[in-house]
Amino acid sequence: MPRILPVVLLALLVIYCLVEVAQADPDRVRMLPRWLWVALIILLPGIGAIAWLVVGRPVRQQPPRRRPRAPDDDPDFLRGL
């Protein structure tokens, strides 16, 4: 069992990276084209998957979080009064 665990973890990492490459927007993938990332992940599973996670995957642009408002600052709440 202990000898199988690293192989299973590597396989899960490779599958995760392949799915992420397939779902990534081609215009936002960094460094290499998508097809080359897939080849790199398949041919060099450990190194390719880690390289994708570190330098290849797109940077996620998160919208700024909305801060909670007090009820008296919320126009929707005041409209309901």
Instruction: Quote the pLDDT of residue 69.
Output: 63
pLDDT digits (tens, 9 = 90+) for 33-74: 888 988 999 999 889 999 888 888 777 777 777 776 666 677
Q: pLDDT at residue 27 above 70? A: yes
User: What does the alpha-carbon distance between residue 21 and residue 80 come to, in Å, rounded to a whole number?
Assistant: 47
For residue 23, report the phi and psi dihedrals to the nearest 5 degrees: -90, -10
Instruction: Quote the pLDDT of residue 53.
Output: 85
Range list of H helices, the chain: 4-23, 34-43, 45-51, 75-79
Instruction: Quote the pLDDT of residue 68.
Output: 64
7 alpha carbon, distance to own chain's centre = 22
Instruction: Quote the pLDDT of residue 2.
Output: 83
User: What does the alpha-carbon distance between residue 49 and residue 3 come to, in Å, rounded to a whole number?
Assistant: 21
**What tokens were used for 72?**
């008296």
**What tokens were used for 2?**
């202990």
Listed by start position, the domains of the chain span 13-56
